[in-house]
Structure 1
């Protein structure tokens, strides 16, 4: 009562329809149902994302007008920018002392005769060396509780030379079935 009288004297409108005054809430108010809220929120998110992308594109086009292509001549000294995480890993410095630029390095001419084709090195698309299995050396069956697990000893041809590892036979057979077609007669003769 006091608040209503005070607001009447001040000439303002007191609207008590809120969570604390449920008795004054009007039942005729339009309320959004869950699917409507989700739909409207999704529309707004899409609109916000499109506006942010438009602003990014506009800033990029403006920045590209001012940007000049960098051409370096042989013998120029240049600084290379280091990504923050690589700087920490390679140089062991964290935080303020983490290097942003390294160098200066001198630009040199590349010699095409020294380039090694990637086909000979067997490198995958992520530039990792690929190990290839050469042959199956040995077979064993290991017991894991009550289930037998067949494992095989594989000889690999890798960048470090010959390597030997034990692999599960079923998983290995899916990846490299050609090794099992070669060794099929010897495995049946052994058993």
Structure 2
């Protein structure tokens, strides 16, 4: 079931639609609603409009009347109305057409059982087909020993197990190092001492690969922020050098690693710029 809200208000005050669909037969009910209704009103409407017609459902999933129920469903190979009642829905065009066959007694039961089996087979075939399409695009997550991963924290357990709480709390904690693989879909993580009470083996669905190892992450507490909310980058090492010749002169370039950054983030700078601002001769070169 689901709700369609934000609709223009009708003369009778309805401004939303309650959509209830049977997952098996695909039949649907559309109930006009008012957003001011309370839970008691919803329960009364559900009993009057659904339970009175179909009985109490085994399960309810919270997630379309005539045009939808009479439309062809590929997975059923028939319309939802025909799957539910065993016959096609009659429209005003064929209301007066004679010759409709009437089924009684055991024939009705046999026909209903054949209809249910037919629908089950069609649904299973469609689900298998959709699964084959999904499996082609889905690649399993595989990690290696010593990889670093983030651990997904559930909203309920994260508060008690990892001390993560609040609406803006991170969805992942870590990163943590993988010490070994346990089976095909589980990994053991190296957790810090304050998480010693947490079981250290987790399913692969709870993990997300860390693209940058913790050793390369800069501690922001060491960065000195100035009053205008800026900080100064200083060259700490020259990694490489090259020359570029023009008609008049040759320009030297140096690949410089900056403070608060890793070697992967090194940039090429002109020798003149480095001498003017940082005195490149004092840099240590690999």
The structure having more radius of gyration, on CA atoms, is 1
* Same fold by TM-score greater than 0.5: no
Question: TM-score of the superposition, structure 1-length normalised?
Answer: 0.32
Question: TM-score of the superposition, structure 2-length normalised?
Answer: 0.23
Which structure has the highest helix share of the two? 1
